[in-house]
Structure 1
Amino acid sequence: MPETIIMPKKLVVVCLFNFLIAALLGLALRYSFLGSIEVNYRFLTHAHSHVAMLGWVYLMLYVCIAHYFVPEQKPIYTKLFWVTEFAVLGMVLSFPFQGYAAVSISFSTLHIFCSYYFVYLVWKQHETASVVTSRLLKTALVFMVTSTIGVWCLGPAVSMLGQASAFYQIAIQFFLHFQFNGWFLIGVLAVFFHLFKIENSKLFSAFYWVLIVSTVLTFALPMQWFAPHMVFPWINGVGVVLQLVLIVLFVKLIKFKENKVASGDNLVVINLYRFAVLCFILKTIFQASSIFPAFTNVVYGHRSFVIGFIHLLMLGVVSGFLFSFILKNNLLSYSKTTYFGVYSFLVGFVLTELILLIQGYKFFTGSGLLPNYYLSLFCFSILLPFGIALMLFNLIRKKRN
């Protein structure tokens, strides 16, 4: 299988560079509460989220999937990567100045069509002897395509009912929910299970179907936010209970302590696995709290909880796994710079998550702001781009054996 082929270094450099841009934009957003940044906050948020999702997570998953599941990679994958990166750079350069407008929408549309072609290529050309990874990979790709239905609904929603309508908001949530919980999460699990050589079994089959059903059912939560109905909390309740079952099945499936595959990895790779799995468990527990309507309303009404949850999934679970995949391929030297970069990122993530959680709780109890809340959040956030920059520096500097 393609593990013997070295993961393309140039493409990983581009992905990490995109992540660094996203982190710096996020840092600028947090600085905006301390001083003026002379840029529209909402426009900058669009730029930050798009480059993080589509420039870092999407493209790094692209590289991993092509590397592990497409033997004898054809030049078309490299060409398509650069066209997709062109779309990402177009969004980075247009969103901060115009938000959603003709130029940024054009680049976003180009990215979607590139993703469709990527799905077509991988579906047709992927090879894996494992039923487990094949099912997970195909499911992730299906969720990716399905999520874009929400994007195509935005135009009709605006023209018919406007941006304040429930239709428009649900379309956005549809895209985000199935991108995050479908394409991104299941995509990294496909690679993770491939590396851990998880075999097909009744346990995996149960895990797979609980994963799919719970992912679909938990979309009832954003539906309840914008189109309240008495049935949605019950559907979401079933979904979150299934997710708790999912975590138990997941832990049994990977058998972390007994897995001989992981035992051959460097300690920092194993720690990243552990960190990502821990964040996956915490994400599920936090999401399970949505079963209580009073808490759900508070969470939706306070950005600290919303941003904290998104970062828990994107930075903790997904990025944790993606970092481990990069390191496992020996693209970075196991030096003090690498260790300092990885652990700086993780410490910055944990500290900012704690501040967001504590502040969210203070909002929940009506006890106001933490002392120096915005300053502390900004200072700890510096560790995120700093850690990424160190890893990127190490990656560029390391020479191939």
Structure 2
Amino acid sequence: MAFYLQRWIKICLFNLLLVATIGVILRYKIAFSLPFIDQKHLLHGHSHFAFTGWITQSLMVLLVVYIANKKGENIFKKYRFILNANLFTAFGMLVTFPVQGYGAYSITFSTLSIFVSYAFAIMYWKDLNTISEKNIVAWWFKAAVVLNAFASLGAFGLAFMRIEKIIHQNWYLAAEYFYLHFQYNGWFFFACMGLISSKVSIDARPVILNRIFILFAAAVLPAYFLSTLWMPIPLWVYLLVIAAAIAQILGWIYMVGIIKKQAFTLNKTMPVIAKWLLIFSAVALSIKLLLQLGSTIPSLSDLAFGFRPIVIGYLHLVLLGIITLFILGYMFAVKSILINKRSITGTGIFAVGIIINEVFLMTQGVAALNYITIPFINEALLIAAIIMFTGLLILVTNQKIKK
């Protein structure tokens, strides 16, 4: 299994490098002239490939590893077609979106990626049921693949409105946020929680682990309305949203308590670079959960969703600060990434780039609230993108596969 795992991890890291490369191009076009590139179309390719080619591909690989470790067999051959199909659709979107935006080919590839996620969900659910050892980890993973499929309703809603030429901004944004919410707060987050639970569940009380899952599972649906507070919603829905935000914070507090109790054991078995990446990811998640609770205040919600720089900063906090750093940290923790001075240096540079990027984005967002323009902010964000790209280039070129 080690050879197949190393190969897939290397592919995932290369995909992340491609995401960073496109990020540099996008930032360069904002700061300087690049007339032969359509910014909006390239942005669509960037975001779709980041979701499918980097995060989804990596999580699928890591979830397959969990099954393989439990069943004691090389199961990568069984999932080879699905993993390759997901990779194929990701590169299809990477090529077609920058060329035509939302067109026949790009929509075809994005639709195929959804069907691949359905196939993965069905196969993975069945394999989880064959594991004799039953624990909360399986429920995190089952919820993750179901929420991934559920998110596709938002994508199909967007496609329907485009085909029928229904121009209604609130409906369009509601469908878009539906897809995004159940991707990063559903599929991405629940898969990551399942992975971390698989490392701490042995010495943790099952009742506490179950409580954490119940809190997040109960909150995930009403938490969607945190993204739609700019729309008129009934009072009872608003109260549910507040309860969901509080439930997620309580669930995270319980999880942090479990991790703290096992800190000594985890420190002995975990590389230093993995520990720091997971700490940064945990801090970012804590910030995100507090921001969610703060957004339930109507005046703050109107400000947040009214300024694009704040929305972009929030999405980067989730996708880079929480999800990407966690995935890299977990890969280092299970030693699926080659650990040496160069890989540690490259990862460190990448992490610093994320922090710098987030600081600049949030500074730009806060300034936008007061209608203040920060000089050279676009050039500064370009530098942050180049730092992230440089770190990943060092990390990726340092990986080797040993058969």
Instruction: Provide the residue aligned with 2:294 in structure 1.
Output: 289
- Cα deviation, 1:212-262, whole Å, max 9, x if unaligned, reads 122211111233334555554333222212222222112112226545144
**Match for residue 191 of structure 1 among 190, 195, 211:** 195
Indicate the percent of aligned positions where both proteins have the same amino acid.
Answer: 25
Provide the C-alpha distance between the structure 2 equivalents of 1:256 and 1:370, rounded to a whole number of angstroms. 44
State the AA in 2 paired with 1:166: N
The 3 A distance-change label for structure 1 pair 175 and 270 is: same
> Within the alignment, does 1:304 sit opposite 2:322 as a pair?
no
The 3 A distance-change label for structure 1 pair 212 and 177 is: same
Instruction: Provide the residue aligned with 1:89 in structure 2.
Output: 91
Instruction: Provide the residue aligned with 1:346 in structure 2.
Output: 351
Cα RMSD over matched residues?
A: 2.0
The 3 A distance-change label for structure 1 pair 242 and 197 is: closer
Moved more, 68-77 or 289-298: 68-77
**Match for residue 218 of structure 2 among 207, 210, 213:** 213
Instruction: Provide the residue aligned with 1:116 in structure 2.
Output: 118
> Within the alignment, does 1:26 sit opposite 2:30 as a pair?
no
2:303–2:369: 8 Å Cα contact kept in structure 1? Answer: yes
Aligned residue runs from structure 1 range 151-170, under 5 A: 151-160=155-164, 162-170=166-174
Give 1:195 deviation, angstroms.
Answer: 2.2
Moved more, 72-81 or 285-294: 72-81
- Paired residues in the alignment total 395
Give 1:347 deviation, angstroms.
Answer: 0.5
> Within the alignment, does 1:173 sit opposite 2:170 as a pair?
no
Provide the C-alpha distance between the structure 2 equivalents of 1:61 and 1:232, rounded to a whole number of angstroms. 32
What is the TM-score normalised by the length of structure 1?
Answer: 0.92
Give 1:162 deviation, angstroms.
Answer: 1.8
**Match for residue 10 of structure 2 among 7, 10, 13:** 13
- Cα deviation, 1:286-322, whole Å, max 9, x if unaligned, reads 2221021111111112122111111111111111111
Provide the C-alpha distance between the structure 2 equivalents of 1:197 and 1:265, rounded to a whole number of angstroms. 16
Instruction: Provide the residue aligned with 2:341 in structure 1.
Output: 336
- Cα deviation, 1:163-222, whole Å, max 9, x if unaligned, reads 444323212211110111010011011111112335452222221111112221111123
2:148–2:187: 8 Å Cα contact kept in structure 1? Answer: yes
The 3 A distance-change label for structure 1 pair 164 and 109 is: same
Instruction: Provide the residue aligned with 1:382 in structure 2.
Output: 386
Provide the C-alpha distance between the structure 2 equivalents of 1:104 and 1:264, rounded to a whole number of angstroms. 44
Moved more, 115-124 or 4-13: 4-13
Provide the C-alpha distance between the structure 1 equivalents of 2:100 and 2:401, rounded to a whole number of angstroms. 41
Q: Larger RCO: Structure 1 or Structure 2 (Cα < 8 Å, ≥ 6 residues apart)?
A: 2
Give 1:157 deviation, angstroms.
Answer: 2.5
Provide the C-alpha distance between the structure 2 equivalents of 1:6 and 1:272, rounded to a whole number of angstroms. 25
2:230–2:301: 8 Å Cα contact kept in structure 1? Answer: no
**Match for residue 61 of structure 1 among 38, 59, 64:** 59
- Cα deviation, 1:83-109, whole Å, max 9, x if unaligned, reads 211111110000001111100011111
> Within the alignment, does 1:253 sit opposite 2:258 as a pair?
yes
Provide the C-alpha distance between the structure 1 equivalents of 2:8 and 2:391, rounded to a whole number of angstroms. 19
State the AA in 2 paired with 1:287: Q
What is the TM-score normalised by the length of structure 2?
Answer: 0.92
> Within the alignment, does 1:202 sit opposite 2:207 as a pair?
yes
1:211–1:246: 8 Å Cα contact kept in structure 2? Answer: yes
Question: Which structure 1 residue ranges, 4+ long, deviate > 6 Å from structure 2?
Answer: none
Structure 2 spans left out of the alignment, 5+ residues: none
Provide the C-alpha distance between the structure 1 equivalents of 2:292 and 2:23, rounded to a whole number of angstroms. 24
State the AA in 2 paired with 1:291: T
